[in-house]
Structure 1
Amino acid sequence: MNQQSGKSSLFKTYSSIIWLLCGIIAGSILGLVFGKDVEIIKPLGDIFLNLLFTAIIPLIFFTIASSIASLEKSEKLGKLFVIVIGVFLSTVLISAILMIIGVLLFPIHQDIIISKIPLESIQSGNAGSQITQLLTAGDFYELLSRKSMLALIIFSFLIGFASLRSGEKGASFRDFLNSGNEVMKQLLHLIMKTAPIGLGAYFAYQVGIFGPQLFGAYAKPLGLYYAVCAFYFVVFFSLYAFIAGGKNGIKVFWGNNITPSLTALGTCSSIATIPANLEAAEKMNIPAHIRNIAIPLGAPLHKDGSSMSSIIKIAVIFAMFGKDFTDPHTLLLALGITVIVSVVEGGIPNGGYIGEILAITIYGFPMEQALPAAMIVGTLVDPMATLLNANGDVVSSMLITRIAEGKRWLSVMIAS
């Protein structure tokens, strides 16, 4: 009975991914069987994408603004906040650089061109004007376009900090931001229920038009992603734990991260893993004032796995359109995008769609062709990404404690 219940619980946890895979497989079969005639169901895919596009702007605003507005002030917040951000940023960049090295060592090649639509041209002008257009919008309504994604993110950060500074007078507005964030998450859940049909129709169209050679296009990037992430999980997390607390650090980390790991894999949600992470951090002797800030803050803002997945998605998109991913400027921009993605994504299943749209927009790829492919890759890497995201918060809390409390923090806590 327990075994049957376990299987049922496992299916319920991964049901969305399973249904999405079923939709993609069914669409692929339809494309193979009916060829170009399958174009008749393409509007189903277009409807799904349009729903996603209309929801993404308010979702980004509420996700960022509510996260910043919910920060609590305390005497140690200033110094600790700097340490937390420093550690989060460092591990995100390290994970992204490791994935870039993996992509450079094992390049992703794609012989077919998914779309012959020309890339969006970058407006001419001096560097100053281009930076201005990238970071700001000339009017409020221009923030509501996905072409002004970075400007919207900056504006959302400012709104969050302004509401935080407003104190008691801004309490109602903060409640509004939190409520709006929850509503938009639920809206995304509703839209994603149509993903098996929408992406299935899109995949049927791609297979029917471009042929069966589309199969296998994702096999190498997925294999590369899981291999590099497994290496990062075992080797680098052990290294972080050793830096934080020496040999004892490795013991307490690997001795207490099983429950958070299984919770992350089972829920595919960083936020759902917060209780398990807090319990594990307490067993690891991480001080309460550190774990109670770093772990809840890390769930929406710190994502090693997502940073690695954003690199692999960008590499796949570049390969799809036959573009060079090895250009230094492209790689540096990719690193910048991963940092933004780590902040923008909510700690919910498939939250990376926000980052995917941002990356596609910045690089100037046609959204209608690039986004579904990035979403497919993102869905397939989601369990491993969540594992690194959630466990990364715990090991980062150890690093934060090492910096804030000194190198002997663990031995002192164990002795006491």
Structure 2
Amino acid sequence: MHTQAQISTPSAQPSVWQSYASIVLLLGGIIVGSAIGFIFGAKVESFKFIGDIFLNLLFTAIIPLVFFTIASSIANLQRNERLGKLFGLVSLVFLMTVIVSGLVMYVVMLCFPIADDNSLRAMASQALLDNPNASLHQASTSITQVLTVNDFFELMARKNMLALILVSLMVGFATLRAGEKGQAFAQFLNSGNEVMKQLLAMIMTLAPLGLGAYFAYQVGVFGPQLLGVYLHPLALYYVACTVYFFVGFSAYAYLAAGRLGFQHFWRNNLTPSLTAVGTCSSIATIPANLNAAEILHIPPHIRNIVIPLGAPIHKDGSSMSSIIKLALLFAMFGKDFSAPSLFLAIMGITIIVSVVEGGIPNGGYIGEVFAITVFGFPMEQALPVAMVIGTLVDPIATLLNANGDLVSAMMVTRLAEGKDWLKKALSTP
């Protein structure tokens, strides 16, 4: 991982190959894997275990990394810092970008509405539910389940990521409150944070092979479905997300630090973007985002809070996917998606679902059940369609979710440190 001294000192600049070797290898693995999936189709499913091994190693290390990153960051803050203001700024930026992304997708669906398709209804009635635990009972109890656990060891499960973050914040604040007596524990948190970052660096050396196998599986197994009845909504979604990714994120980066912010953001977000698309997981992208945020000179007390906190609760892509799912279900069951009276309900559900959905591959079943229940769609028909759409849009949705955390960290820095924060950081030796 680069240090600020290495970045700002010309003599310490790495060679072109040193700078781009990991990216070239990652791209090579993804391209080769995609080609294998396209050529051999579903036969590549037998290679999926390679990608699963990589992801399992990655997820095993992610949980302690999130704990040590957040807890150590809070513990190292000075007690006179305005923590409340920082969290307020983070909440403001997260909410703003989620609303903007949802509005963009809503306008797209109004301009290019999805027509009623009987084949979709037939597919919905025949689809099998892969998640037997998705139920109305779960939807009614999801708030408690998402925010808390009833045993310490359950914090180690990825499904309880929000509960882990809540406890990590509390541990950090408790260490801060302990003052001098808590310094030894604060040092332990700092050491644990560094050890977990090194472990992640070791695991990421397997990324070209692991992500290559994962891409082969996605292209080989799910690719043919893109040519079916989902083509229209999927095309709208991918085009809208692509435009939002380049135009919207460029605007955010410019607002955060002007032209300098625009240039540095696009110069340093390729690895996080590829990791997000390859893993379909915002949580798995945390290490790449933290590294990019450090290179972008985002202060540690901001990047170590915004990025781990944003992974499970800040989801521009999920906001947009919620809109497309609802539009498709409205078309299936002959309801008017453009009715003005439903606008606030649609946007409200979109915000809630974006927060509820966890940062795991093909997640969000609880959020889908919640949305379907609120609008009164038949669960047996609506849930399979929402699940299929959720799976097919997962790569680019995760790209927006994860990369949105990085650009949000820049905007929080702009609000907390002033408009010239990046210029000052780059001029400091």
Identify whether the pair has TM-score above 0.5, normalized to the shorter chain.
yes
Matched, 1:399 2:405: no
User: Once the 2 structures are TM-superposed, how far is the Cα of residue 410 of structure 1 from its aligned partner?
Assistant: 1.1
Relative to 1, partners in 2 of residues 1:279 and 1:14: Cα closer, same or farther, differing over 3 Å? farther
Name the structure 2 match of 1:177.
Answer: 155
1:253 and 1:295, CA in 2 relative to 1: closer, same or farther beyond 3 A?
same
The reply to whether residue 217 of structure 1 matches residue 229 of structure 2 is yes
- Give the 3-state SS of the residue equivalent to 2:96 in structure 1: helix
1:243–1:399: 8 Å Cα contact kept in structure 2? yes
- Kindly provide the amino acid, as one letter, of the partner of residue 87 in structure 1: V
**Is the contact between residue 120 and residue 229 of structure 2 (CA under 8 Å) also seen in structure 1?**
no
Instruction: Give the SS at the match of 2:118.
Output: coil
Look up the equivalent residue of 2:86 and give its one-letter code. L
Displacement of 1:177 in angstroms is 3.4
Give the match for residue 252 of structure 1. 264
Measured in 1, the distance between the counterparts of 2:259 and 2:381 equals 49
CA contact (8 A) 1:114 1:321 kept: no
Q: Contact 1:305/1:389 (CA < 8 Å) preserved in 2?
A: yes
Tell me the distance in 2 between the aligned counterparts of 1:114 and 1:98: 25
TM-fit CA distance, 1:313: 0.5
2:98 to 80, 92, 98: 92
Q: Deviations over 1:59-90 (max 9, x none)?
A: xxxxxxxx99x964554532211111111111
- Indicate conservation of the 8 Å contact 2:356/2:367, yes or no: yes
Distance across 2 between alignment mates of 1:333 and 1:4: 41
2 CA distance for matches of 1:322 and 1:402? Answer: 45
Counterpart among 144, 149, 156 of residue 155 in structure 1: 144
**Which shifted more, 375-384 or 96-105?**
375-384
The answer to whether structure 1 residue 103 and structure 2 residue 103 are counterparts is no
Measured at CA, do residues 97 and 5 of structure 1 come closer, stay the same or move farther in structure 2, by a change above 3 Å? closer
For residue 241 of structure 1, what is the aligned residue in structure 2? 253
The answer to whether the 8 A contact 2:252-2:411 is kept is: yes
What SS is found at the alignment partner of 1:348? coil
Task: Work out whether 1:384 is the aligned partner of 2:396.
Answer: yes
TM-score (normalizing by structure 2)? 0.63
Residue 211 of structure 1 corresponds to none
Aligned-pair CA distance for 1:215? 7.6
Pair 1:308-2:320 in alignment = yes
Q: Is it true that 1:6 corresponds to 2:9 in the alignment?
A: no
* Equivalent residue number for residue 137 of structure 1: none
Q: How far, CA to CA, are the matches of 1:145 and 1:383 in structure 2?
A: 22
Instruction: Determine if the alignment matches structure 1 residue 412 to structure 2 residue 418.
Output: no
Whichever residue aligns with residue 344 of structure 2, its letter is L
Residue-pair matches, total: 304
Contact 1:13/1:267, CA 8 A, preserved across alignment:
no
Q: Secondary structure at the match of 2:334?
A: coil
Give the drift of 1:303.
0.7
**CA separation in 2, counterparts of 1:379 and 1:92?**
20
Shift of 1:145: 9.1
Counterpart for residue 354 of structure 2: 342
Task: Report the secondary structure of 1:316's partner residue.
Answer: helix
Q: Which moved more, 1:274-283 or 1:79-88?
A: 79-88
In 2, Cα distance between equivalents of 1:367 and 1:335: 21
Distance 1:216 1:150 in 2: 30
Gaps spanning 5+ residues in structure 1: where?
23-66, 117-143, 164-172, 184-195, 204-213
Structure 2 residue 243 is matched with structure 1 residue 265: no
Q: 2:106, 2:44 → 1: CA distance?
A: 27
The one-letter code of the counterpart of 2:374 is I
- Contact conserved, 2:147 with 2:160, CA < 8 A, in 1? no
Displacement of 1:6? 2.5
Partner Cα distance (1:219, 1:84) in 2 = 36
Task: Give the partner amino acid of 2:353.
Answer: V
Question: Does the aligned pair in 2 maintain the 1:113–1:320 contact within 8 Å?
Answer: no
Q: Are 1:113 and 1:321, in contact at CA under 8 Å, matched by a contact in 2?
A: no
TM-score (normalizing by structure 1): 0.65
| Shift in alpha-carbon separation, 1:393–1:377, aligned structure 2, 3 A | same
- CA–CA distance in 2 between the matches of 1:298 and 1:84? 9
On the 8 A contact 2:119/2:229 being kept in 1, the answer is no
CA 369–221 in structure 1, closer or farther in 2 if over 3 Å, else same: same
Q: Percent identity?
A: 54
CA distance in 2, matches of 1:249, 1:362: 41
Deviation at 1:359, TM superposition (A): 0.9
Report the AA paired with residue 84 of structure 2.
Answer: G
Query: Deviation string for 1:144-191 (max 9, x for gaps)?
Result: 99435664244346647xx9xxxxxxxxx44433348479xxxxxxxx
- Match of 1:152, as an amino acid? T
Match for residue 81 of structure 1 among 61, 69, 87: 87
- Distance in 1 of aligned mates of 2:377 and 2:42: 28
Runs (5+) with no aligned partner, structure 2: 1-24, 46-65, 123-132, 162-217
CA distance 1:321–1:300, change in 2 (3 Å): same
Which amino acid in 2 is paired with 1:81?
A: F
The 2-side partners of 1:145 and 1:256 are apart by: 39
Q: In structure 1, what is the Cα distance between the partners aligned to 2:26 and 2:266?
A: 27
Structure 2 vs 1, CA of residues 179 and 220 (structure 1 numbering), >3 Å: closer, same or farther?
closer
Could you list the per-position Cα deviations for residues 219-249 of structure 1 after superposition, in whole angstroms to 9, with x for gaps in the alignment? 1111100111011001110000000000001
Pick from 221, 227, 231: which aligns with 2:239? 227
Residue 285 (structure 1) aligned with residue 297 (structure 2): yes
Q: Which residue of 2 aligns with 1:60?
A: none
- What's the CA shift for 1:113? 7.6
SS in structure 2 at match of 1:385 = helix
Contact 1:110 1:217 in 2 (8 A): no
Q: Which amino acid aligns with 2:156?
A: N
